[in-house]
Amino acid sequence: MRRRKKGIEIELKFPRTVLGKSIYMVAGVLLFFVLYVWQQIEVVQVGHHINDIRERIQYWHNQNQYLQVKINENSAPQIIEKKAKLVLGMIYPAPRNIKMFSLKGTVENY
């Protein structure tokens, strides 16, 4: 197939002429660079996205840690004892009311 345009006859049928080959080659190289740059931009964008997610994870991790602190504060023996006495009205049992017995096979771990 031949096409005439502004006095230049271009061989469009691949790969009939050297010019055609060159144009395809340059186009191929350019396309490669375009794809490479596009890929790099994508990678950077994904990187930013990952960074955002990491920051969010960090935020929630911090929140989790802070809740751990709160859990530990509320499960501290002095807090439990205070609440048991003042809120629930519990009293310390008399030693004779504490019955202790050993279970066979239990491991002493203190």
Interface residues with other proteins (CB under 8 A) are 8-9, 17-19, 22, 26, 43-44, 47-48, 50-51, 54, 58, 62-63, 65-66, 68-69, 72-73, 75-78, 81-82, 85, 91-92, 94-96, 98, 100-102, 108, 110
Q: Decide if 16 contacts 10 (C-beta within 8 A).
A: no
Q: Tell me the backbone φ, ψ of residue 54, rounded to 5 degrees.
A: -60, -45
Compute the least distance from the CB of residue 17 to other proteins, in Å.
7
Q: What is the spatial distance between Cα 5 and Cα 7, in angstroms, rounded to a whole number?
A: 6
Compute the least distance from the CB of residue 1 to other proteins, in Å.
17
CB atoms within 10 A of CB 23: 13
